[in-house]
Amino acid sequence: MDITNFKWTRQPKSYCIDSNRIEIITNPHTDLWQRTYYHFQNDNAPVLQMETDEKFFSFVVKTNFTESHHRFDQCGIVMYLDSENWLKASVEYENKEFQHLGSVVTNNGYSDWATTSISATIKSMWYRFSRREDDYCIESSEDGVHFSQMRICHMYKGNEKIQFGIYACSPEDSSFKAVFTDIKFTDCQWKAHIGQQPD
């Protein structure tokens, strides 16, 4: 995949990009969240994305977060359309015992958060982000071979040209190096549904 197709939506103070590897040093007090439950709006995380109007595809990337060490340190995939319409998936550091593998979908200015706890010893995670028109699937994998579904969602503003890619942030007073490798853009791996027919 040609990384030169990726452009900064928001640029971190420190980063390194070569042909098959991206490193981002997170800035303290950066995050993506809109309103729900916490009643605050955070919209300042570094986001590196490419643009496409392709309606059927999958995007795969491996993240390494060995250096994450503070609550909510995170890095992963993102589809950032605008400040009130986006989705992300990541592992968020919690403590020395566990962390959260989760995803956030934000439609029309309100975020949700779906998580599961995983061991703090896990320091890398693969993600596969797939599009079928204006519906999306997020999957994760520890080995890059066997992917498990995290969620399926609909994006109200995701039916035309979109931007998608990677992000990293540290919502509290922290900073760490997030590493992204094995970046691929492929035919859609999220196959058409076989079962109950549409209404």
Which pLDDT belongs to residue 198? 76
Which pLDDT belongs to residue 196? 82
Which pLDDT belongs to residue 117? 98
- Distance, in Å, from the CA atom of 127 to the CA atom of 93, rounded to the nearest integer, reads 17
Residues linked to residue 88 through DSSP beta bridges, in sequence order: 78, 104
* Residue 59 one-letter amino acid: F
With respect to residue 82, please indicate whether it lies within any of the assigned structural domains.
Answer: yes
With respect to residue 89, please indicate whether it lies within any of the assigned structural domains.
Answer: yes
Q: For residue 78, give both structure tokens.
A: 């993102």
Number of domain units in the chain: 1
The full 3-state SS of the chain, as one line of letters, equals CCHHHCEEEECCCEEEEECCEEEEECCECCCEEECCCCCCEEECCCEEEEEECCCEEEEEEEEECCCCCCCCCEEEEEEEEECCEEEEEEEEECCCCEEEEEEEEEECCEECCEEEEEECCCCEEEEEEEEECCEEEEEEECCCCCCEEEEEEECCCCCCCEEEEEEEEECCCCCCEEEEEEEEEECCCCCCCCCCCCC
With respect to residue 74, please indicate whether it lies within any of the assigned structural domains.
Answer: yes
Domain that holds residue 10: 3-186
With respect to residue 30, please indicate whether it lies within any of the assigned structural domains.
Answer: yes
Distances (CA, A) of 60 to 19, 104, 128, 132, 183: 15, 18, 4, 15, 6
Q: Low-confidence residues of the chain, pLDDT below 50?
A: none
With respect to residue 199, please indicate whether it lies within any of the assigned structural domains.
Answer: no
pLDDT tens digits, one per residue of 99-143: 999 999 999 999 999 999 999 999 999 999 999 999 999 999 999
The domain that holds 10 is classified in CATH as 2.60.120.200
- Distance, in Å, from the CA atom of 32 to the CA atom of 111, rounded to the nearest integer, reads 9
With respect to residue 193, please indicate whether it lies within any of the assigned structural domains.
Answer: no
With respect to residue 195, please indicate whether it lies within any of the assigned structural domains.
Answer: no
- The fraction of the chain above a pLDDT of 90, given in percent, is 93
* Model confidence, pTM: 0.95
pLDDT tens digits, one per residue of 88-111: 999 999 999 999 999 999 999 999
With respect to residue 196, please indicate whether it lies within any of the assigned structural domains.
Answer: no
